[in-house]
Amino acid sequence: MKRIRKAVIPAAGLGTRVLPATKAQPKEMLSIVDKPALQYLVEELVESGIEEILIITGRNKVSIENHFDYSFELEKTLEENGKLELLKEVNKISEMSNIYYVRQKKPFGLGHAISCAEAFVGNEPFVVLLGDDIIYTDKSKGEVPVTKQLIEKYSELDGGNILGVQEVLQKNVSKYGIIKPKNQIDAKTVMVEDFIEKPSIEEAPSRMAALGRYVLEPEIFSYLKNTKPGKGGEIQLTDAILAMKKDKDRLYAYNFEGNRYDTGDKFGMFVANVEFGLRHPELKDRAKEYLKELAKKL
């Protein structure tokens, strides 16, 4: 079994849920406190031991490449002004990982976006992180990044496709892909009998939702090629995963540890800014005092 060392981040979406902020700015580059959302994902991957990252972009996403590239003028100015700590932070971004880019030329859905990564992935298992989902894990409590949790589970299971899941509120099941559990493997892992994309509350077989983290085996690409466009003319990753399950029956769901933020949603972005601000070493004390004072006025 090959070691997982590659990751794919689809980042070609238009970000319509957070317009007008995304009219000229990629949603992945919207800031959470002092870092763009996408940087949190890249940091998670690096901390999980991922060596190579492919970001799938689209039109008007050049700022993503610029952010992870060197910025000679900025770095020179910071050095000349003696702002060495800031210089260190800026340098760290460009040296984080080996990051590659490919464009999804037309918005044909998540499945089509993933298919753009075939040449990059080759014949290796890989992880997928969706750009809307930032998941916080507390290192001080011994928690490990979600990607690392899934990689370790993949090794334990000796292969298979794995969906990172958590329980969501009943009223929210129609927003996600919901699993129908088959049998329990361990305290946090089940085999999946079915995987339903955005079911109604009445149709949902559980409240366990796939939340932006996947481990996929390279055979998924042949299934994506044979997946017909569904609703809206989009090729759904869910359909390809289910087709592969019928042949191999090795689809698992892992209930990961971590606090998940939906940064593709206006309220989710607001909550992320508040909670990450309360953890930020420079801001947390002032943020707590401000919120206490604000609460008195509400």
pLDDT along the chain (298 residues), means of 10: 91 78 82 92 94 90 85 85 84 84 87 94 95 91 94 94 95 91 93 90 93 95 90 85 90 95 90 95 94 92
The reply to whether 265 falls in a domain is yes
Alpha helices in 59-123 (DSSP H): 62-67, 72-80, 84-94, 110-115, 118-121
Q: In the prediction, which pLDDT does 293 show? A: 94
CATH number, domain at 162? 3.90.550.10
The reply to whether 176 falls in a domain is yes
The reply to whether 1 falls in a domain is no
Spatial CA neighbour of 178 closest among 258, 253, 263, 267: 253
Residue 293 exposure: Cα atoms within 13 Å on the Cβ side: 6
Q: In the prediction, which pLDDT does 18 show? A: 76
Q: Taking the model in full, what pTM does it have? A: 0.90
The reply to whether 75 falls in a domain is yes
The reply to whether 206 falls in a domain is yes
The reply to whether 119 falls in a domain is yes
| Total domains present in the chain | 1
Q: In the prediction, which pLDDT does 27 show? A: 85
Q: Structural domain of residue 201, as residue ranges?
A: 6-297
Amino acid at 194: D
Q: Based on the number of CB atoms within 10 Å of its own CB, is 211 exposed (0-12), middle (13-18) or buried (19 or more)? A: buried
